[in-house]
Amino acid sequence: MTTTRLIVWRHGNTDWNAEGRVQGQSDVPLNALGGQQAVDAAELLVRLRPAALISSDLRRAADTAAALAALTGLSVTHDERLRERHFGSWQGLTMAEVARTRPDEHARWKAGADVVGGGVETLDDLGKRVADALQAAADAVPPGGTAVVATHGAAARQGVGHLLGWPREQLRTLRALQNCHWVELSHDESRGWQLAAYNVGPFSDRPVPPPV
């Protein structure tokens, strides 16, 4: 049975991550820590021998993907569908500022509501567009190959959940991905998509296959 592997990789740290500021689709670059995280993660992911490398076109994801491209020789394909959730009027604010100035919207977001308000993209729309991009990435590799997708935290979780067919309530039980950590999915004709690993990264205890 041929199994295709899909790695859904969150970008490295940014100054807005460090400040607890809502990035959404603001084009914030990696900071020095994030750049090093990308290099450290790439040294592990290259061992999976990816056949395709796809990234959000936002700089923090694209530059994360570039660290792996440098080791594999692969070109990075950019896909706007892999962008982070659009957070509308929240972008640039800290969560404390959102809670203070937009309390009703913040309460709906904290409760996991699909529609938050304030121009925030719905979870359903987010999940559909990211899942479409993830499926396209998997389709871009030969059967049994590995595709690596560099994206964002909320985008990764919602897109993976949509691809797996999980209800929103189940998806909320997953912790947020750490910077430069990833989700591993597998697909075969008989079982479809399955979750193989979650929140794996340079500082994870889960072993990564040695170079071959």
- Residues making up the binding site for substrate: 10-17, 60
Query: How far is CA 180 from each of CA 3, 122, 187, 212, rounded to the nearest angstrom?
Result: 24, 25, 23, 23
Query: How far is CA 61 from each of CA 138, 196, 209, rounded to the nearest angstrom?
Result: 18, 22, 24
User: Which residues contact residue 177 at a Cβ distance below 8 angstroms, ignoring those fewer than 6 apart?
Assistant: 10, 153, 156, 157, 183, 198, 199
Please give the structure tokens belonging to residue 21. Answer: 């500021």
**CA distance between the termini of the chain:** 22
Start-end of H helices in the chain: 15-19, 32-45, 59-72, 95-101, 103-110, 123-139, 153-164, 168-171
Catalytic residue among 84, 105, 121, 184: 84
Question: Binding site membership: which residues?
Answer: 10-17, 60
Phi, psi of 54 (to 5 degrees): -125, 145
Compute the distance between CA of residue 106 and CA of residue 152 in angstroms, rounded to an integer: 20
Residue 105 falls in the annotated catalytic set: no
Residue 184 falls in the annotated catalytic set: no
Compute the distance between CA of residue 23 and CA of residue 94 in angstroms, rounded to an integer: 9
Kind and range of the H or E run holding 184? strand 182-188
Compute the distance between CA of residue 101 and CA of residue 95 in angstroms, rounded to an integer: 10
Catalytic residue among 11, 106, 152, 162: 11
Task: Indicate which residues carry an active-site annotation.
Answer: 11, 84
